[in-house]
Amino acid sequence: MAQTIPEQWFADWFNQDYLNLYAHRSTEEASSVVDLIAKCLPRLSGGRTLDLGCGAGRHLRFLSRMQKAVGLDLSPWLLGVAREKSPEAPLSRGDMRALPFRGASFNLVVSLFTSFGYFRDDAENAHVLEEVARVTEPAGWLVLDFLNAPRTRRSLVPFERRQIGGEWVRQVRRISETGHFVLKTIRMEQSGGEFHERVRLFEPAELAAMLTSAGFDVRSLYGDYAGAPWSEASPRAIVIARKRSSH
């Protein structure tokens, strides 16, 4: 019988074990997605960027080269690492469903490396985008860097065991019966730790519909950090959207 993923799985997982598991995510990768953002958007300066779900701050220092960047994450552990990497960057701990910022505080919001779709209820995920719209100024921008649902369903590796440092780690992955979620269980063999991930598999068209409903117009859809057009075989689904100006 398939294991049930806890509703608040994200409250416990984003810790040192998470950092170790995803240590292969490089600064070059972070730099490349920020380069894509800079290339695709009008020149931004004098405003503020919100790095939503900033994690350990991998993108913050590159975003800060464009204009002042603020990081928000729920994990106190990852925020502590981010503070060491970017001591000059303002950081806030908070839930993306209730952003601790005034309306129209940012002219750019970014959600990078699949920091979206964590909630079982689609209404909660949609509410995140409504909160993003609230804190984005009219004609401001949103960049949503998400996994590519068709490729994820087709290429999912059900089981993997590898050594990370002195720890053997088992990962069991599956697609939910509805096809709407990718589910992962991570087990640490030596320490006995067990963690979970559950991410909603939104198709690009679904993301576009949610963004439109929240007050954004989708301007571009890319399939990788080099800016290639999206296809079902693309590694990513990178949506660039602009908030509609008030009338």
Sign of the torsion angle spanned by Cα atoms 214, 218, 224, 225 = negative
Count the domains in the chain.
Answer: 2
Q: Are residues 190 and 208 in the same domain?
A: no
How many CB atoms are closer than 10 A to CB 176? 15
My answer on whether 94 and 181 are in the same domain is no
Tell me, yes or no, whether 125 and 157 share the same domain.
no
pLDDT band at 14 (very low <50, low <70, confident <90, very high): confident
Same-domain status, 157 and 102: no
Domain residue limits at 157: 152-197
211-226 average pLDDT score: 98
Is residue 3 one of the residues assigned to a domain? Answer: no
184-198 pLDDT per residue, tens: 999 989 888 889 999
Q: What does the pLDDT average to over 158-162? A: 95
Is 2 within a domain? no
Verify that 189 and 220 share a domain, yes or no.
Answer: no
Look at residue 50 and tell me if it is in a domain: yes
The neighbouring-strand residues paired with 169 are: 162, 188
What is the DSSP secondary-structure string of 116-177?
----SSHHHHHHHHHHHHHHEEEEEEEEEEEE-HHHHHHH--SEEEEEETTEEEEEEEEE-T
Cα 195 from Cα 216, distance rounded (Å)? 34
